[in-house]
Amino acid sequence: MRAEIAEQPAVLDRILTEGLEEVRRVAERIRHAAPRFVVLAARGTSDHAALYAKYLIEVLLGLPAGLASPSTTTVYGAPGRFADVLYVAVSQSGESPDLVESLRAAREGGALTLAVTNAASSPLAEGAAFHLDVLAGQERSVAATKTYTAQLLTLYLLVDALRGGDRALGADLPGLAARTLELAAHPAVEVAEHLHHAAWIVCTGRGYSYATAREAALKLVETAYLPAHAYSGADLMHGPLAMLDSGTPVVAVVGEGAGGQALDPVVERLRSMEADVLIAGPGGALPTVTGVPEEVAPVIEIMPLQLLAAELAAVRAIDPDQPRGLAKVTLTR
């Protein structure tokens, strides 16, 4: 897991150099079809990449987007009316049967289909009209890290190409990633030691960073066996706040843009309740470099949290590469 976390700057660079041409080609085809609604289908870590893409699509393209509930197809056999819909399935392995079946049903219902995977010869990639390979190379750790940030960058480049952007925001990411991994290495160990005996933790973020909070929680759960809840900053205020004791650890993902600003009152409230607030972001306990544009910040801001998950597993004497009860490819229907 640590080795794959460290590979991320190189993977991001590979996408920018080797993957961009295909992203532009696919974007051109999608623009030609002019979809009016986007549905994103994914499970687990990939679902957080899909959530990030949902925000990008709504904010940058102005198109309504939703996350699929694959079981409406696989459990209830719903026939869908998918004309004018772009259906995007995101999966590291491209093998999850429920995604393969949902994508097939969407295609039969008239959707334009796109698979974003790390496995070009997978059933999902082969079943879709278009495919984008995230070029992360083989991922051995059960906990997905490099495939996640590779999905994020690929999806960002796709949305940027769809709006006729210049991809400028993505270009610096390999360097920003390398500097963040270096900057966060020691703090992640310190926070891991601080959380050694934590019974549970809350992760929160708003806007683009909500995806980061969700992914951080899943990493802590699956690698360090720490029960971790993720809530958007808004949802946290609607109920879950009640369960926080003074001292409850809360990871708050606070970036430099509007999403980070929108989280400020939540952080203030948490501090007034004497929660143990750990900021992930520039200048925080789990630091990232400054100057990362908000639209691409999720690619960077997850990195200190990946390191935290790996270090907390180490502190707790857990092997993050062999989580109990999990397989690399999960065959849910």
181-220 residues near a second copy, rule: CB under 8 A: 199-200, 206-207, 210, 218
- In angstroms, the Cα distances linking 144 to 93, 140, 216, 326 are 11, 9, 11, 12
Does position 58 interact with a second copy (CB under 8 A)? The reply is yes
Query: Is the Cβ of residue 3 or residue 83 nearer to a second copy in the bound state?
Result: 83
Instruction: Name the nearest CA neighbour of 152 among 169, 127, 130, 129.
Output: 169
Query: Is the Cβ of residue 14 or residue 54 nearer to a second copy in the bound state?
Result: 54
- By rule CB under 8 A, what count of residues binds a second copy? 73
Instruction: Name the nearest CA neighbour of 79 among 109, 44, 48, 116.
Output: 109
CB 280 within 8 A of CB 183: no
Give the C-alpha separation, 36 to 5, whole Å. Answer: 36
CB 145 within 8 A of CB 292: no
Does position 79 interact with a second copy (CB under 8 A)? The reply is yes
Query: Is the Cβ of residue 45 or residue 306 nearer to a second copy in the bound state?
Result: 45
Q: Which of 67, 120, 189, 314 binds a second copy (CB under 8 A)?
A: 67
Give the C-alpha separation, 306 to 104, whole Å. Answer: 33
Site residues (CB under 8 A) for a second copy, limited to 236-275? 237-245, 258-259, 262, 273
Site residues (CB under 8 A) for a second copy, limited to 82-141? 82-85, 98, 109
What contacts 26, CB < 8 A, 6 or more positions away?
Answer: 114, 130, 132, 158
Q: Which ranges in 118-257 belong to alpha helices (H)? A: 123-127, 146-162, 168-171, 173-194, 209-224, 233-237
Minimum distance, C-beta of residue 296 to a second copy, in the bound complex (Å): 14
Q: Which of 3, 25, 28, 72 binds a second copy (CB under 8 A)?
A: 72
Name the one range near a second copy by CB under 8 A: 81-89, 123-131, 160-168, 183-191.
81-89
Neighbours of 178 (CB within 10 A): 18
Residues across the chain = 333
Does position 314 interact with a second copy (CB under 8 A)? The reply is no
* CB-count burial class (<10 Å; 0-12, 13-18, 19+) for 67: middle
Name the one range near a second copy by CB under 8 A: 11-19, 68-76, 117-125, 126-134.
68-76
Name the one range near a second copy by CB under 8 A: 18-26, 160-168, 300-308, 322-330.
322-330
Minimum distance, C-beta of residue 91 to a second copy, in the bound complex (Å): 11
Does position 30 interact with a second copy (CB under 8 A)? The reply is no
Give the C-alpha separation, 67 to 89, whole Å. Answer: 10
Minimum distance, C-beta of residue 163 to a second copy, in the bound complex (Å): 12
∠ at Cα 262 (261, 264), nearest 5°?
65
Give the C-alpha separation, 285 to 298, whole Å. Answer: 17
Name the one range near a second copy by CB under 8 A: 53-61, 133-141, 151-159, 183-191.
53-61
Minimum distance, C-beta of residue 10 to a second copy, in the bound complex (Å): 25
* CB-count burial class (<10 Å; 0-12, 13-18, 19+) for 24: middle
Query: Is the Cβ of residue 104 or residue 229 nearer to a second copy in the bound state?
Result: 229
Name the one range near a second copy by CB under 8 A: 71-79, 121-129, 190-198, 303-311.
71-79
Does position 35 interact with a second copy (CB under 8 A)? The reply is no
